[in-house]
Amino acid sequence: MTTRTRALPGVAIAATGLLLGAPAAWGQADTASASLEPAFEWDPNDPRPGLAAGWMDAESAIRGLELVSSLPRPAGFFNPATPDDRRFFNSDLAFRGDYLFQGNYQGFQVFDISNPAEPTHVVSVLCPGGQGDVSVYGNLLVMSAQETRGRVDCGLDGVADSISAERLQGIRLFDVSNLSSPRQVAAVQACRGSHTHTLVSDPNDREHVYVYIQGTGSVRDPAELPGCVADADDPNTSLFRIEVVRVPLAAPQRAEIVSAPRLFADAQTGSVAGLWAGGDHGPGTQQTSATSRCHDITAYPDIGLAAGACSGNGILLDITDPVRPVRVAEVMDPNFAFWHSATFNNDGTKILFTDEWGGGTAPRCRASDPPTWGADAIFTLEDGELELTGYYKLPVPQGETENCVAHNGSLIPVPGRDIMVQGWYQGGLSIVDFTDPANPFEIAYFDRGPISQEMLFTGGYWSTYWYNGRVYGAEIQRGIDVFRLTPSEHLSEAEIAAAELVRADQLNPQHQERVDWPDAVPVARAYLDQMVRSGRIAEARAAEARAVLDRAGRGQASGAELTQLATRLEADAAAVRAGTLGGDAERLSRAASVLRGLAR
């Protein structure tokens, strides 16, 4: 069911917010592009195009989800006079236990989400520096600082001098063991600051955690930070690299840069600028940024790999030695302007890369914008080789005053499927099924109208993540939204219940952990629902399985009954593989395995 509403529930402009000067909006609507021919077709009954505008009272549309709560930004973290004060933009999210950590250009906030329907604010930490992306590892919080106003001491006055020992561009480390009073314990300087960062755990090293710094700013003056080199032709240039920080968990104040890998080097010539040099790819293609830095690197330590979205290329890294990551593959795409982020599927057999065409501040989801530009590109990964298989972009257009492009998200752990929830800035959030990478499709969404109908203000979802049964969205201008999934023709009650069984101790952007599902009735039902939906199980067998699982759900199925059904499903799977029966051999086998686990 699709619904439209006019207001943002529970959110109002707080009278206690900081009142500051209002800078101009990013720009007026680009009316010239409105006359261009549509580049794709969409459902004319979809309610998202044409939603009424408003900062805190925009009209909204929702399908396949329920908005269970919304949290406004706390005092000191927004400017009530304007939605365009960049000093207070919300950025990324991280999670630990019952707590959500919200990054902000002005510092970070902590919320108690033990009851997702009623989250509560715990503490705000003022520590300006821009970007403010956060990660959490145990009692350690890492925060990125990119802008020149950042101070080592977290001061609010900025840094006036062009060269100053007081400036911090890099990462901050906070002790968050006492959430009522987080304490900065270290700061690591980097030559290009830290636009984002990646936590990398090493299964063979429990005493340290590693942080990959992705700097995208201008190279700092060596008079301020010795060793920084801006000249791209200098062999010691600070371009074409990342920095690897080793953090001793018992003494995080001793965190230090231990390597600066040249991830883009040409193995034949030794040139550090060995990948895409920048420019277009021929007529009708994108102007793609040069590969001189990574925007995001997503680490998947359980499989020893990381995927880097590195401006002009997507790259695959071997991170079995986290200090010395090695590039093992690279891809390019003439439809991509700026490789931004990456997400593995749970099996590590697919990677979804995003293109941040327009830098996140431009309207790039209009009817006239190509559906392969500013989109997701889905690659299969087999034997170390990446192959482009398909694209996904919002299936409906957004307006001229809505910044919109593919941005950050995470997997939703539905067994047997590859499903991702993703933020699209003012395009809202979209949940995409990319199990078939050549034919991805949307299964749920939430969207608000533009902040303004006349002016383009940067806003919308920076990121959306699934964590322990709920979807959390980081709204740049409005705060935090919490959603739960609802059953639809695309997602069954059992599939949602199976996803909600998965519990994590923590979740960080750019860090993935393998999901293993328990042997539980909802998991077996999820596989059954998928086979019934696709017509890949015999009707009689589906009815038998449904009856047994219904009894199992009530605790009335015997171990022998479950084992007998498992044996029949395994026989069906063997017949499918032999070509004597139609069906889904993989899901039949997985359902049988769950049944045998239940029987034990």
Cβ count near 297 (within 10 Å): 27
Element (H, E) at 258: strand 256-259
Beta-carbon contacts of 270 under 8 Å, excluding residues fewer than 6 positions away, are none
* Tens of pLDDT, residues 442-459: 999 999 999 999 999 999
Q: What distance lies between CA 419 and its chain's CA centroid?
A: 12
Give me the half-sphere count of Cα atoms (radius 13 Å) on the Cβ side of residue 215. 30
Q: Give, as one character, the DSSP assignment of residue 147.
A: S
Find where tokens 């936590």 sit. Answer: 199
Q: State how beta strands 99-104 and 107-112 pair.
A: antiparallel
> What pLDDT score was predicted for residue 3?
60
Predicted confidence band of residue 1 (pLDDT cuts 50, 70, 90): low
Cα separation of 81 and 308, whole Å? Answer: 38
Cα separation of 476 and 6, whole Å? Answer: 19
Mean pLDDT across the chain, nearest whole number?
A: 94
Q: Which two tokens stand for residue 263?
A: 């991830």
What 3-state class would DSSP assign to 91? strand
Q: pTM for this structure?
A: 0.94
Radius of gyration of the chain (CA): 24
Find where tokens 């696709």 sit. Answer: 534
Q: Which two tokens stand for residue 472?
A: 């959390």
Q: Does pLDDT of 358 surpass 50?
A: yes
Q: Report the pLDDT averaged over residues 566-586.
A: 98
What 3-state class would DSSP assign to 561? helix
| CA dihedral for 153, 157, 158, 162, sign (positive or negative) | negative
According to DSSP H, which parts of 470-599 are helical?
A: 493-500, 521-534, 539-553, 559-578, 585-599
Cα separation of 547 and 560, whole Å? Answer: 15
DSSP state string for 444-461: EEEEE--S-SSEE---SE
What 3-state class would DSSP assign to 361? coil
> What pLDDT score was predicted for residue 33?
45
Q: Which two tokens stand for residue 315?
A: 């790259």
> What pLDDT score was predicted for residue 32?
41
Cα separation of 305 and 348, whole Å? Answer: 9
Q: Does pLDDT of 27 surpass 60?
A: no
Hey, what amino acid is at 58? A
DSSP state string for 400-451: TT--B---BEEEE--TTS-EEEEE-BTT-EEEEE-SSTTS-EEEEEEEE--S
Please choose, from the candidates 185, 177, 163, 173, the residue with its C-alpha nearest in 3D space to the C-alpha of residue 213: 173
> What pLDDT score was predicted for residue 208?
98
* Tens of pLDDT, residues 111-160: 999 999 999 999 999 999 999 999 999 999 999 999 999 999 999 999 99
Cα separation of 72 and 17, whole Å? Answer: 11
Q: Which two tokens stand for residue 111?
A: 């919320």
* Tens of pLDDT, residues 515-530: 999 999 999 999 999 9
Q: Does pLDDT of 26 surpass 60?
A: no
Cα separation of 526 and 518, whole Å? Answer: 12
Q: Does pLDDT of 5 surpass 70?
A: no
What 3-state class would DSSP assign to 253? helix
> What pLDDT score was predicted for residue 28?
40
Predicted confidence band of residue 76 (pLDDT cuts 50, 70, 90): confident
Cβ count near 307 (within 10 Å): 29
> What pLDDT score was predicted for residue 19?
25
Q: List the chain domain ranges.
A: 127-230+241-260, 521-599
Asked whether the beta carbons of 283 and 274 are under 8 A apart, the reply is no
Q: Does pLDDT of 34 surpass 80?
A: no
Please choose, from the candidates 142, 93, 112, 136, the residue with its C-alpha nearest in 3D space to the C-alpha of residue 472: 93
> What pLDDT score was predicted for residue 350?
98
* Residues forming a β-bridge with 382: 385
Cα separation of 498 and 500, whole Å? Answer: 5
Q: Report the pLDDT averaged over residues 76-89.
A: 90
Q: Does pLDDT of 103 surpass 90?
A: yes
* Tens of pLDDT, residues 238-281: 999 999 999 999 999 999 999 999 999 999 999 999 999 999 99
Hey, what amino acid is at 268? Q
Please choose, from the candidates 370, 365, 380, the residue with its C-alpha nearest in 3D space to the C-alpha of residue 434: 380
> What pLDDT score was predicted for residue 29?
43
> What pLDDT score was predicted for residue 2?
61
What 3-state class would DSSP assign to 514? coil
Q: Does pLDDT of 75 surpass 90?
A: no
Q: Does pLDDT of 35 surpass 90?
A: no
Distances (CA, A) of 327 to 232, 319, 355, 385: 20, 9, 20, 12
